[in-house]
Chains A and B, each alone.
Chain A
Amino acid sequence: MEKNVEQVDAFLEELIRRERFVEPDPFLGTRLIQALENRLEELTSASHFMIRNLLQPVMVTVGLVFAALIGISLGLIQGRQSEAGVRNEQIQELRNSFYISDFADEGTYFMNKN
């Protein structure tokens, strides 16, 4: 049995020893450097791709949304101002119809009348 173990161990050592002589392709290094340089270019172009195809549309969309929001808020301000203008005209008409020269406080006006 002991002899068997020794033989098996020697067999294993021999298998490993044989594998030590196996060498990779001598041009592996050149191929690897080329592949890595290609990958670097891909990474660089990927960042350009990101800017061109992702950031640019995002910026345009944000700009459009911003412009739309400014437009809506300007429209709302304008609407309020025109409403206020209509109200002023109505008040002016009322004042004219009641011959009120100046607009006085309602409470004081009626108190003064009494």
Chain B
Amino acid sequence: MTEVNLGEEIVFWISGGLAVLGALGMILSKKAVHSALWVALTMINLAILYIANSAPFLGMVQVIVYTGAVMMLFLFVLMVVGVDSSDSLIETLKGQRLVSIVLAIGLAILLIAGVGAGLTDVVPVGLEEANGVDGGNVEGIARLLFTDYLIAFEVTSALLITAALGAMVLAHRERWLPRASQAELSRSRFLGAGHPGNLPSSGTYARHNAVDTPALLPDGSPSELSIPGPLVARGDVRPIDHHDVDQIESLGGGTK
């Protein structure tokens, strides 16, 4: 057993406290995205604790994989599924929730008791001996990776290929028409029913320049061309604040 020195103790109390804070924040925040960010805090602090405990590989992987990849995937899944979508509280199978809670508690008791019993009489070897074989934690992992687990390591590349291939197959939208060139686009804009010049920008003569605020035509009516179609379809167009418009006109002394 090595002694815990002051620096390590300070790191522990700061990082440990922040990790617990992040965990609590994750449970207590109402928005899923906030929860995800709290988890990131917890993960980073766990990484610091790992490094402080002389497990640099674990600490780095914690940052690279968990804080980087897993957290990002969480966020992306939340974004793709919809930030505000919440779980339905209706049970499809009656009593399902109760049964699963009972089973989960049962499994937890079993695991805690079993693992606890399995770990009671264990004598820790100590870091010196574990790291002494190869002269360091990361070196030890490098040796295992390139000897005992060589095949597992190489085959992992098949896993990565499958992941990227699958993402492409499921999520990449291919074109069945070749992409129109700039010349073609321009030609169709002038010859077809399109709008030859730039569309009027949003918010002109109004108080706001946000894309959901229509521009005003000389007669004071909103210009439909100035707002993007999806916003109209979504019903998110902001009504014109005539009080604002009048105020601006009075400031500028202009006429309608």
A interacts with B: no
